């Protein structure tokens, strides 16, 4: 038997095993996209699904700010929502 900490079963394809690799994490820090090279991630050997190491993410978000550390799921968007209400009120 292998060390259970060395691999994780993949929940996505149900058949693969995830092992620790170095990946580049991309996340938003405020309005800035930052990349963190050599970030620990679990990568499935079958479907390639990648999960960033939760402990490392927690450390990163403490280092940066509470909003950081969320991996990008969708390309762009969201963010620009709250604009100052500069439309004149209905008279
Ligand atoms: Zn998988």
Residue 89 CA to residue 18 CA, distance in Å, equals: 56
Torsion angle defined by CA atoms of residues 45, 26, 63 and 70, in that order, rounded to the nearest 10 degrees: -80
pLDDT of residue 62: 81
How wide is the angle at C-alpha 6 spanned by C-alphas 63 and 61, nearest 5°? Answer: 10
Q: What is the mean pLDDT of each run of 10 residues along the chain (91 residues)?
A: 69 94 89 91 95 90 66 58 62 66
- CA 21–ligand 1 middle distance (angstroms): 14
Read off the tokens for 45. Answer: 């050997």
CA of 4 to the centre of ligand 1 (A): 17
pLDDT value for 48: 95
pLDDT at 29: 78
Do 47 and 67 contact (CB within 8 A), yes or no? no
CA of 9 to the centre of ligand 1 (A): 8
What confidence score (pLDDT) does residue 32 get?
87
């Amino acid at each position: 038997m292998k060390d259970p900490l060395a691999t994780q079963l993949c929940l996505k394809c149900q058949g693969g095993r995830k092992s620790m690799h170095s990946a580049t994490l991309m996340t938003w820090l405020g309005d800035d996209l930052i990349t963190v090279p050599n970030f620990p991630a679990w990568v499935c050997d079958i479907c390639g699904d990648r999960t960033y190491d939760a402990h490392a993410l927690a450390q990163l978000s403490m280092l940066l700010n509470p909003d950081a550390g969320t991996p990008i799921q969708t390309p762009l968007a969201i963010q620009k929502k709250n604009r100052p209400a500069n439309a004149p009120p209905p008279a």
